[in-house]
Amino acid sequence: MTCNEATVLLHALIDRELDARHAREVEAHTAGCARCAAALTVHRELSRAVQDNRMRYASPASLRNRINRAIPAPTARTTRRSLLKGFALGSIMSAAAATGVTVVIIGQDRDNRILSEAVSAHLRSLQAEHLTDVLSSDQHTVKPWFNGRIDLAPPVIDLTVQGFTLIGGRLDHIDGKPVAAIVYRRRVHIINLFVMQNLGGALAAARLETFQGFNFLRWNDQGLTLLAVSDLNRDELKEFGTKFEAAAQATRPAG
Amino acid sequence: MTIQDCTVFTMAAERDSDVDKSQQFRVAALPYLDDIYTLARYLLGNPADAEDAAQECYLRAFRHFGTFRGGPIKPWLLAILRNVCRAEYARRGALASTTTESLEAAENCVDSIWGNDRETPESHVLRRLDSETLKQLIAQLPHNFREALVLREVNELNYREIADVTGVPVGTVMSRLARARTLLRDAWIAIEKGATP
């Protein structure tokens, strides 16, 4: 092998792209050629330096949010169809007047978007090693952490004794607004409890929903909307909600 | 309101494949946002353009997600980003006609690599390479060499994948990488000489 050939092939050697025969040839050449051997060393070193993590750029969170918003969430088309399915099944909405239906469609659309974004936020929290900004099982550490970071005071309640371990909190975004996410664990299942300003609209009762394979429990309390998302089964998610609510009421002054 | 007697809903929408599509896309594609953004930074130079390109990349990828044939999604996304960046180059080229000059400069660079190579003290031990300086040196590499280098070293694609993303044969990928690294090494050595006369 000539120096000219080795000069190119040593890069393929560094990148582990050479078959065994060529690799042996390059190595044989560098064993006998000090200049090519030195080049191999220097290029190895340089390659490692460029592969360093500091050579990467972290994408800004705002970019991720922009993209998340721009990717269509489940849209009106879907909702409209599901609404029609509802009619076909003789749902209670079949009696609604035309004007009423419009309102329902818009409301449903936003509902779906919020659930879909909650799923995304939940998945993101599991994937990106960004489950918590504040990691603590102490509610008196987690709650104050939100001070000044978000314009609401989320109820942070330790439910370890009740079987749901508090593991921390973080800031997230749903429907374009910052929300507090309080993170619990039940066995291997993570529960993200999103706390946001009251979404408005009539949410007369707590709702237990299934969407994209995840279970949701949603309820309003003290002007806030609370939305728990998990792959935990419905019964246990409902149990979580019940325990949370009971504990929340117990911490409030009577009256 | 008590949770004990909550209403149980099952949305018909959860059976709808449209819902699955956008969710599948998010789960499959979003973990590579840093990779996409990093390549965009290296190809376009500044954060604002890189953000726009990354966003455009994801929108296009989502629109064409139906045509994605499985396999690793990272090279597919990087190929889309590369096209977005080329459009941006074309736009910049229309704004200022600096493209021709830089291309010529690039060609001259290429011609001189092999000549320089003989005079370079190969035994020269590179000092600690700090990442900020390295980033600047990479930014100065001619476009095709920079692209190959970043796809290989930073995005961690193999030669076959780089060839697919950039639409050239594997042999070209290999020679571009060799030239990119040689230019980079020479630039680094030049800096060291400047720093320590």
Tell me the pLDDT tens digit for each residue of B176-195.
999 999 999 999 888 877 76
pLDDT at position B38: 96
> In which residue are the tokens 């706390």 written?
A195
d(CA A219, CA A8): 65
d(CA B58, CA A69): 11
Tell me: do A32 and A145 sit in the same domain.
Answer: no
Tell me: do A208 and A100 sit in the same domain.
Answer: yes
B71 DSSP assignment: S
* Selected residue with higher pLDDT from A123 and B4: A123
pLDDT at position B26: 87
Architecture of domain B19-96: Orthogonal Bundle (1.10)
Top-confidence range, A102-106, B17-21, B143-147 = B143-147
Per residue in A165-219, pLDDT tens? 998 999 998 887 889 999 999 988 899 999 998 876 556 578 888 887 788 999 9
d(CA B167, CA B163): 6
Tell me: do A86 and A189 sit in the same domain.
Answer: yes
Residue B174 touches partner A, C-beta closer than 8 Å: yes
Tell me: do A205 and A229 sit in the same domain.
Answer: yes
pLDDT at position A57: 94
Chain B residues with beta carbon closer than 8 angstroms to that of A211: 11, 13-14
Q: What is B97-197's CATH topology?
A: Arc Repressor Mutant, subunit A (1.10.10)
Residue at which a domain ends, from A21, A40, A55: A55
Residue at which a domain ends, from A28, A55, A82: A55
Q: Which of B3, B37, B152 sits opposite A217 (nearest CB)?
A: B3
pLDDT at position A187: 84
Tell me: do A8 and A22 sit in the same domain.
Answer: yes
Residue A147 β-bridge partners:
none
d(CA A236, CA B31): 30
d(CA B80, CA B58): 8
- Tell me the CATH number at A116: 3.30.200.100
Listed in order, the ranges of chain B carrying CATH 1.10.1740.10 are 19-96
Residue ranges in A128-233 assigned as alpha helix (H): 139-145
In chain A, the number of structural domains is 2
* Selected residue with higher pLDDT from B87 and A39: A39
8 Å CB contact of B59 and A11: no
Note if the pTM is more than 0.90: no
* Selected residue with higher pLDDT from A228 and A214: A228
Residue A190 β-bridge partners:
A185
Phi, psi dihedral angles at A213 (to 5 degrees): 85, -5
Please name which of A152, A158, A215 lies closest in space to residue A178, comparing C-alpha atoms.
A152
Task: State the average pLDDT over residues B50-54.
Answer: 94
Which ipTM did the prediction report? 0.76
Tell me: do A119 and A181 sit in the same domain.
Answer: yes
- Show the domain range for A232: 61-251
Please name which of B119, B101, B118, B56 lies closest in space to residue B82, comparing C-alpha atoms.
B56
Tell me: do A77 and A185 sit in the same domain.
Answer: yes
pLDDT at position B111: 42
Q: In B, residues 89-148, which contact A (CB 8 Å cutoff)?
A: 117, 122-126, 129, 131, 134-135, 138
